[in-house]
Amino acid sequence: MIPTVVWGTGNVGRAAIRAVEAHPALALAAVLVHDPGKVGRDAGALAGLDRSLGVAATDDIDAVLAARPRAVVYAASGDIRPDEALADVARAVRGGAVVVTPALYPLYDHRGAPPEFRDPVLAAVAEGGGSLFVSGVDPGWGNDVLPLLVSGLGSTVDVVRCQEIFDYSTYEQEDSVRHLIGMGHPMEYEPLMLAPSVPTMVWGGQIRLMARALGVELDEIRETLERRPLDTTVTTRTMGVFEAGTQGAVRFEVQGIVRGEPRIVIEHVTRIHPSCAPDWPTPPDGAGAHRVVIEGRPHIEVTVEATDEGENRSAGGNATAVGRLVNAVDWLVDAKPGLYDALDVPLRPAVGRLGRNRP
C-alpha cells in the first residue's frame, strides 16, 4: 500500500479523501487542513462519508512531511495563492513524494511553463527524487485526453472544441463564483478570472498540450468573452441572493489559432440561474455537463455528466478530475522521478475496483 496524504479538504479535498480510500493500492496516511475548526476531526466526516477512517485531520505540515509520505494529493487552492501553492508542492516533491494536484495552472503544459514555475519543481525533483503531475478540475481530462481520444475516431477534423456548461447555483465556493468569476456583481465589475490574458494563463497550457499531440503549430492563442445580466433577482440554495441587473452568465473561449483559424477551443458557459442567457448552449438536464465536439467528418459529440455528493453536478465534475489524479499515483510511483503532463500519464482503468466496496 502507498501511504498517501490529502492536503486540503475543500471541494477537491473531500473528493480526494474518498478516492484515496477507495483505491486498492493507496492508504490514507494523513489529512492536512488550514481551518483550526477541522483539526482533530476524522477524515471520513470531513469527506462526507458515513464511517470513520481513523485518520484525524492535522495542521502540522512539518510532522506530516517529516514522515516522508510516498504520495501527496495537493488539494489546496492555488487560485489566489499560486506562489504559496508552488512552494508547498515543491517542498513535498523535495521530500521524495509523488505529488498530484490541480492547483498549478501553468504546469498543465510544463514544457511551455514560465521558468519561475518550472524551475523550482525540477530542482526539487533533482534534490529529493519526487514527481509532479498537474491536471485540472475543469476537468483536466475534458480538455486533453478525452478530446484527443475522440479526435482519433474521425476521418477529418476541422475543430476540436471542449465545453464546460454549468449552472453555478449549486457550487459551494462563493468567493470564486462571486468575486473571481463575478456572478452577482454589477456589470462594470471586472472579475479577475475574466481579465484579459487570465483565461489563457489558466487554459492556454491545455491548448498547447492538445496542439502538440495533434502535431500542429499554433499561430497564437486568442480569447473571446461575453457576459449577460440577470433579468430578475434569483435566490440560490448555497450562495443566497443574486440581484437583477448583476452578472448572471459568462461565456468565454480560449482559442488555439492554426493557420489563421480557431481550431482548438476550450469554451466555458456558466450561469447562476438557467433563466439567464437561454440562447447559449445548455446541458442536457439543465444542471451541468462537459462536452467534446469534433467538427469534421463525421461530426462527433460526447457529453459527460457526473454527479456526486447527492445530485451535485459540480461535485461530480470535481470527483472525476480528482479520480484522474488519484488513479495516476501508483503509476507515478513506479515511474522515474520527474515532471509529468497529461500526455505522459495514461488514463487507466479502475483495476481492482469493479464491484468492490471498501469497508
Alpha carbon distance 99, 33 (integer Å) = 17
d(CA 133, CA 328): 8
Q: How confident is the model at residue 359 (pLDDT cuts 50, 70, 90)?
A: very low
When pLDDT is cut at 50, 70 and 90, the band that residue 354 belongs to is confident
The model's pTM is 0.92
One-letter identity of residue 141 = W
* Nearest 10 degrees: Cα torsion 84, 20, 351, 109: -10
Question: 185 pLDDT exceeds 90?
Answer: yes
For 336: left if phi > 0, alpha if psi spans -120 to 50, otherwise beta; the answer is beta
Mean pLDDT of 88-115: 95
Amino acid in the structure at residue 46: L
142 DSSP 8-state letter: G
Residue type, 330: D
Query: How do residues 20-75 score in pLDDT, each as one tens digit?
Result: 999 999 999 999 999 999 999 999 999 999 999 999 999 999 999 999 999 999 99
Given a contact cutoff of 8 angstroms between Cβ atoms, the answer to whether 184 and 240 are in contact is no
Per-position DSSP letters for 190-257, written without gaps between them? --GGGSTTHHHHHHHHHHHHHHHHHT---SEEEEEEEEEE-SS-EEETTTEEE-TTBEEEEEEEEEEE
Q: Which residues are bridge partners to 291 per DSSP?
A: 163, 303
In angstroms, the CA 45 to CA 317 distance is: 21
DSSP 158: E
Amino acid at residue number 253: E
d(CA 78, CA 117): 13
Helices 115-128 and 82-94, interaxial angle, to 10°? Answer: 20
Q: Is 88 helix (H, G, I), strand (E, B) or coil?
A: helix
- Euclidean distance between CA atoms 16 and 348, whole angstroms: 17
Q: Quick one: what percent of the chain has pLDDT higher than 70?
A: 96
The pLDDT confidence band at residue 328, using thresholds 50, 70 and 90, is: very high
User: What is the pLDDT, as a whole number, of residue 239?
Assistant: 86
Rg of the chain (C-alpha set) = 20
For residues 339 and 132, the answer to whether their CB atoms sit within 8 Å is yes
Length, in residues, of the chain:
359
